[in-house]
Structure 1
Amino acid sequence: MLNILHHGGATGVTGSCHQLILNSEHSLLIDCGLFQGEDAAKDSFEQLQIEFDIATVKALVITHVHIDHVGRLPYLLAAGFKGPIICSEPSAKLLPLVIEDALKIGFTRNADLINRFQAQLESQIVSVPYGKWHSVVNDPIGTTHIKLKRAGHILGSCYVEVAYQDAATREKERVVFSGDLGAPHAPLLPAPQSPYGCDQLVLESTYGNRTHPDRRQRQSVLKNAIEQALANGGTVMVPAFSIGRTQELLYELEGIIAGAKRSQWKDLEIIVDSPLAARFTKVYRELKPYWDKEAQARLRSGRHPLNFANLYTVDSHVEHEQTVEYLAKTGRPAIVIAASGMCAGGRIMNYLKAMLSDARHQVLFVGYQGAGTPGRDIQQYGPKGGWVEIDGERIDIKAGVTSVSGYSAHADQQDLLNFVKRMHRWPHTIRLVHGDQGAREALKSELEALYARKGKDVEVVSSEW
């Protein structure tokens, strides 16, 4: 059985990085992500360093471009990695934008260095079509092929099938890395389809202990939450990641506005205050062929789900500061979508500092809030009249706080079980990663019960590091 080393993401929900040891000379790296929230060490710079041996790494395979899966890529290249960076065709367009932003925030603002780094990155990117086998290693020791399949998490996301054959023994092994799996009925993206089968499965477990509400009802839940907030005459602040969640929200809001009968919606400003999100949204528009059937139907009917009349973008920092000040003072009804999704930095922080202590306003969470992040604190303590510390300042939370869980981009417990159940050949070993301990342990129990009902044996590993 092939060995797998975890260099992050095994005992938490960030920092995903997994090394598949093929033989004494070959290995693959699946993702190389940044640690965030409670997963981040006090000495974060030391945690960023690539301290594991990369001499045998023949390729880095990217499941998707969220920062907790690609954020350590600059450090990997700085450590001397020169191999191919394999990803889906949409991810190949999105990855340079993500890494450029990551470089500016945590690495350097030197334009020449950034340009040189980006040139190296783009020279190493190898885009692979979905569903096609791609040869990574083919020599006298062994052969390795990979296949990328749609994961339904964000545009370009994939899970990875690895097919290895030892040249001497002719033994074969199939390993699947789930990356982050999406759930059925997500905006813009088709749901993931299970692979035929595998020997080992590395499975995410973010929501391994939860079941989402009916996702088909999420638009009405979102509409009701926003209307309740707007009744107070203030701004709805939506922390959202620049890629994935922002575009899903715009798609849903366009649907609400298109079907609305009340002028309250027809005249409502939807503000995207994130230059990065605006750039991602532009690329999303260019990648229409990868949208799902429902989104394609909207396009054919003449609607523009990611580019509609009520939508405004804020670009410059000066314009951002003016927007924060104007909305905080006037209480003009508006929806502001700004990064970051867990309130761990970005422009959303200035809105929160200006408006959290004003009862007219509302914070609307539509995604997972990691332990140790300001977003988790606001979500947990806001409804109790508590407070949060932002940039060393204590801010009393008087604004309303609402969470709409149906918008999670992650599969829930039942979706994760179905991913295994719908394989024709079930894995004999499942390694649970990318989840808090409670989520991993709950999913472990359910998987073992699933196998027991079918009279099958399985080893579920939930906390290996």
Structure 2
Amino acid sequence: MQIIHHGAVNGVTGSCHQLDINPQSSILIDCGLFQGAETAGRNAVDQLKIEFDLSHITALIVTHCHIDHVGRVPYLLAAGFNGPIYATTATAALLPLVIKDALKVGVTRNQRLISLYLKRLQQIIKPIDYQKWFNLEVNNSDCGYQHAKARFNVAGHILGSAYVEIELSDASLTHNCTHNYTRNNTHKSTHQNTGIHSDNSHDCDADKKKDSHMVVFSGDLGATNTPLLPSPKSPLRADTLVIESTYGDKNHHNREHRAESLRQVIERAVNDNGVVLIPAFSIGRTQELLYELEQIIFSQQQNPMWQSIDIIVDSPMAANFTEQYIDYKHLWDTEAKAVLAEQRHPLDFSQLYTIDSHQDHLAVINYLASRQKPTVVIAASGMCTGGRIVNYLQRFLSEPTADVLFVGYQATGTIGRDIQEYGPRGGYVYIEGDKIDIKAGIHTISGYSAHADQQDLIDFVEGIKHKPKHIRIVHGDTEAKQTLADKYRQLLPNTEIEIGTS
């Protein structure tokens, strides 16, 4: 058994991990797009190529449907992948919406081709409920594991997100197999790692039978004590753990502090009746922001400003995802369900406006530029790498009355990171070739990240009753991965801690 990485080892995007069960069987966990600095030196076509061998890959498991985890799925299908795609029930409902948008942006606007892709996708998606074991196809081999099953557990990152447990078992080995799966040495992925091995991967003598081995892929874990979704709970057992490290070197503000910071930043920002721009991913961050904005509006009933402020979500995708959040409200946490019980609608309140068409989007920008009323605009993408937020930034970033509020991670090389870094210094940024002086106020509230912070990542491992023998750290910048590795070495001195590299 080994694990090879085809992304999310040199940074936080392009998540794609290959678990080799035996020489004839492998599965993929996620297949996402690269973004930001991780696309440097590679043209658009090369970034999307499926450069690894698919001949032995029997299934794709999707942890959640953010684009950096599923954006290469259309290219996977085009490359000939014909196996099942396993996802939680909610993720299975959201995935076609994400893929449809990815196809329009990066592949084609030919509606017939898009329909064919989506039809094929619907045929192979297998919705699975949380905590339900499902069998994975394993081809016969005289070396390695012969059976595999998996199940999803709540990750608390976005609706439907999961970490996945994969149990490998029943491998009766009939010959020495120290060749260590030489077929994998022929993979051509530019993001390849030879992998984590089970205890007996180099000692496969005749008549020796491996015990089961539990591999856990964290996907993206959510922060604890956040609204809408339950916090993740640690698995009982993980022999091998592949874990994200986005905030492996940082801790977020607590929930109360971040909500108060949101209120204060917006109140200061709209004193001059300017616009507040919040770049946010269409799924997850947008819904969480709406939830807390409704909470603030409800608690500030005597404050005229909050009762008159407009909240604009300028994203058809976000609107569609919000509907799905409402449809799957049985997956909300107890706090959010209690708000519903009060006959309040945290994702559909009177001061909330949704912009659909591109024509309306452009009209709103012009309207906001000419009026004097406090307004909060939430638009994708979360790292300002594209989408409607870019048009807002082009128009308002040079306006002293405007403010930009970052509520999530900004990857190196993205417009968001540049604004975040150079804006407070009175610097500038290039957007679509145009140099724009940053005169808008720039604010960051780290507590709104949908990712677990350092303490959450430590608690997740500490909560595993049967501790990992191996931990592979992925999905983080170099400093975040190294800092988290040091923490894990202190916590588990007898565990092999490895950092994913290309």
TM-score > 0.5 by shorter chain? yes
Give the match's secondary structure for 1:22.
Answer: strand
Name which of 149, 152, 158 aligns with 1:154: 158
8 Å contact kept, 2:58–2:138:
no
Listed one character per residue, the Cα deviations across residues 375-420 of structure 1 (whole Å, up to 9, x for unaligned) are 0011111111000100100000001000011101111111101111
What's the CA shift for 1:39? 0.9
Name which of 376, 385, 388 aligns with 1:347: 388
Give the match's secondary structure for 1:176.
Answer: strand
8 Å contact kept, 2:25–2:139:
no
Residue 462 of structure 1: aligned partner: 499
**TM-score where L is the length of structure 2:** 0.90
Rounded to whole Å, the distance in 2 between the matches of 1:183 and 1:402 is 21
What's the CA shift for 1:138? 5.7
What's the CA shift for 1:216? 3.1
8 Å contact kept, 1:200–1:430:
yes
- Output the amino acid matched with 2:157: H
Look at both structures and tell me which one has the larger radius of gyration over its CA atoms. 2
Residue 4 of structure 1: aligned partner: 3
- Output the amino acid matched with 2:386: G
Residue 20 of structure 1: aligned partner: 19
8 Å contact kept, 1:74–1:103:
yes
What's the CA shift for 1:140? 5.1
Residue 364 of structure 1: aligned partner: 405
What's the CA shift for 1:217? 2.5
Residue 347 of structure 2: aligned partner: 306
8 Å contact kept, 1:140–1:167:
no
8 Å contact kept, 1:38–1:371:
yes
Query: Is 2:299 the partner of 1:259?
Result: yes
Rounded to whole Å, the distance in 2 between the matches of 1:216 and 1:65 is 28
- Output the amino acid matched with 1:366: V
What's the CA shift for 1:264? 0.5
What runs of 5+ residues in structure 2 fail to find an aligned partner? 173-208
8 Å contact kept, 1:235–1:331:
no
Residue 435 of structure 1: aligned partner: 476
Query: Is 2:325 the partner of 1:325?
Result: no
What's the CA shift for 1:170? 4.5
Rounded to whole Å, the distance in 1 between the matches of 2:52 and 2:374 is 51
What's the CA shift for 1:44? 2.6
Rounded to whole Å, the distance in 2 between the matches of 1:268 and 1:362 is 15
Give the match's secondary structure for 2:443.
Answer: strand
What runs of 5+ residues in structure 1 fail to find an aligned partner? none
Listed one character per residue, the Cα deviations across residues 434-454 of structure 1 (whole Å, up to 9, x for unaligned) are 0000000000111001113xx
**TM-score where L is the length of structure 1:** 0.97
Residue 485 of structure 2: aligned partner: 444
What's the CA shift for 1:132? 1.1
| Percent of residue pairs bearing the same amino acid type | 53
Name which of 185, 190, 196 aligns with 2:230: 190
Residue 414 of structure 2: aligned partner: 373
Residue 285 of structure 2: aligned partner: 245
What's the CA shift for 1:288? 0.7
- Output the amino acid matched with 2:155: A
Query: Is 2:160 the partner of 1:136?
Result: no
Name which of 326, 332, 337 aligns with 2:378: 337
Residue 214 of structure 1: aligned partner: 254
CA RMSD of aligned residues (A): 1.0
Residue 186 of structure 2: aligned partner: none
Residue 176 of structure 1: aligned partner: 216
What's the CA shift for 1:312? 0.3
Rounded to whole Å, the distance in 2 between the matches of 1:412 and 1:317 is 36
8 Å contact kept, 1:50–1:79:
yes
Residue 80 of structure 1: aligned partner: 80
Aligned length: 460
Displaced runs of 4 or more, over 4 A: 138-141
Rounded to whole Å, the distance in 2 between the matches of 1:275 and 1:404 is 25
- Output the amino acid matched with 2:413: G
Name which of 425, 445, 457 aligns with 1:404: 445
Rounded to whole Å, the distance in 2 between the matches of 1:373 and 1:10 is 18
